Structures are given as C-alpha cells and as structure tokens.
Amino acid sequence: MSSALLADKKVAILAASGVEQDELVQPRDAVRAAGARTVLVSVDGGVQDGKVRAMRSDIEPADLFTVEAMVGDVSVDDFDALILPGGAVNPDKLRLDEKAVAFVHDFVASGKPVAAICHAPWTLIEADVVRGRTLTSWPSLRTDLRNAGATVVDQEVVSDNGLVTSRSPDDLPAFCNKIIEEMAAGPHRS
C-alpha cells in the first residue's frame, strides 16, 4: 500500500472509554500507513484526564489513548472520513451524546466515507442514517438495524455508498482495506 495514497486526507476517529482496542488501533494504523492523518475525537462523558480507556472483549482494560478534540469543537468540514470503532460500551456512550449523534448524522449526510465496525452501528441507528441502507454488524445489533429500516447481511465487510460496516474484530483486514478504498474514491453524492 502506498503511503501517499491518502496523503491529503484527515480522518476523525470518534470514540469514548470502552472502545474495543483492536477496532481503534488497526483502522487508525491502516489509514496512517496509507498517508492519512488521524484525530481521536471524543465526548465529554467518555474521557478521563484527556484520555479514553480501551478494552479487550469489552471486559479487560487495555491501553489509554489521548483525545485530540472534543466532538463539540469539530465539524464534518474538518475531515475527509469518519471511523467508528466498536466495543459495546463505546457506542452506547456515543449514542447518548447529542453532539456525537449530530456529528455522525452530518457525516453520513455529507457523503464522505463513514466506517463502523461491530457494535458501532448503534450510533448510526441513533443518528437515523441506516434506513434504506445495506449494512452488517455484530449479530446482537441486527434486529435493531432491521427495526431502523436497514437491510442486514452477514458479510465480513459491506459498503453502501461510502458507508462501510463490518461484523467483528475478525473482519478488520477487510474493513481496513475497504476504508482506504472508499477514502481514495472520495465523497459519494446521492
């Protein structure tokens, strides 16, 4: 992968404490390796001492990550793409934050690439952006997605007009590759 492919791109990674570590780190490292700059964005209730605590399998504390911006202080116009890592606790915090939900809604509406893995589609549901879209997710969210108007499939990665979703950490290689592909293609316009 060329390190210059995404050289002019800036990516927001929206996460709160409870984020699944591999789902934060692997996509971040993949887009960085392709040349993009990343910014860890969070919400007021999801940060302690300027950091978010990642988890492994939702129960084992993992590393701390420094928050670079608060969601209320950034705009969709500041970024070229958005990554929503999972973990059950992380998207549950995000979907309760009005600014985070508005940011996700506006990002999807912009047509810029948005990537959500595992439990992260909960935030997409709260942002009311899944109706009429085809997505995948962790199995326990699939009924929620269908009830919100999405078509749900069981595939390692799905891309619907720039909205990229995957099921679990096992799907990270395909998820990361698709994020880079969508970012290189640029915004989708309906």
Instruction: Compute the CA torsion angle 129, 53, 11, 161 (nearest 10 deg).
Output: -30
Can you identify the CATH homologous superfamily of domain 10-185?
Answer: Class I glutamine amidotransferase (GATase) domain (3.40.50.880)
| Strand pairing class (134-135; 69-70) | unpaired
Whether the Cβ atoms of residue 104 and residue 75 lie closer than 8 Å to each other: no
Q: How far is it, in rounded angstroms, from Cα 165 to Cα 157?
A: 6
Active-site entry in 31, 88, 118, 125 = 118
Q: How confident is the model at residue 166, as a pLDDT?
A: 98
- CA-based nearest residue to 159, from 184, 140, 139, 141: 184
Whether the Cβ atoms of residue 188 and residue 161 lie closer than 8 Å to each other: yes
Mean pLDDT for each consecutive 10-residue tract of the chain (190 residues)? 82 97 98 97 84 94 96 97 96 96 97 97 98 97 97 98 97 98 84
Instruction: Name the H helices within the chain.
Output: 21-33, 89-94, 98-110, 121-126, 142-147, 172-185
Whole-model pTM? 0.96
Q: How far is it, in rounded angstroms, from Cα 157 to Cα 38?
A: 22
What are the sequence ranges of the domains in the chain? 10-185
Is residue 176 flagged as an active site residue?
Answer: no
Q: Which amino acid is at 20?
A: E
